């Protein structure tokens, strides 16, 4: 399964690169696969260092909310396993 993570464009750089913010982590991403022009403030889907497409803010925020729920659930499971193994 492949995941594309909603990210916000926070800086445009040379060589068709951008800096995006993904759940508070800033990273560089290539815009080479994007069919349209990106702008600062755009929400995009990021997959293995490439911006794949633009998305609307509402969809981005809902996806991020779901990712955060998944991460919380995984952390709770790990804590339960750690307690059970003590």
What confidence score (pLDDT) does residue 8 get? 98
Q: Which domains does the chain have, with CATH numbers?
A: 5-85 (2.30.30.140)
At 1 the pLDDT is: 53
Average pLDDT, the chain: 93
Whole-number pLDDT of residue 85: 87
- The band of 39, judged by pLDDT with boundaries at 50, 70 and 90, is very high
* Confidence (pLDDT) at 53: 96
C-alpha closest to that of 10 among 2, 1, 61, 25: 25
Q: Which pLDDT value is given to residue 32?
A: 97
Could you tell me which of 6, 42, 10, 3 has the C-alpha nearest to residue 28?
10
Per-residue model confidence (pLDDT) at position 51: 97
């Amino acid at each position: 399964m492949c995941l594309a993570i909603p990210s916000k464009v926070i800086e445009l750089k040379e060589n068709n690169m951008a800096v995006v913010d993904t759940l508070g982590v800033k990273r560089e991403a290539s815009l080479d696969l994007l069919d349209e022009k990106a702008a600062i403030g755009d929400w995009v889907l990021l997959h293995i260092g490439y911006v794949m497409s633009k998305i609307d803010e509402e969809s981005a925020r809902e996806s991020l909310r779901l990712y955060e729920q998944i991460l919380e659930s995984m952390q709770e499971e790990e804590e339960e396993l750690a307690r059970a193994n003590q």
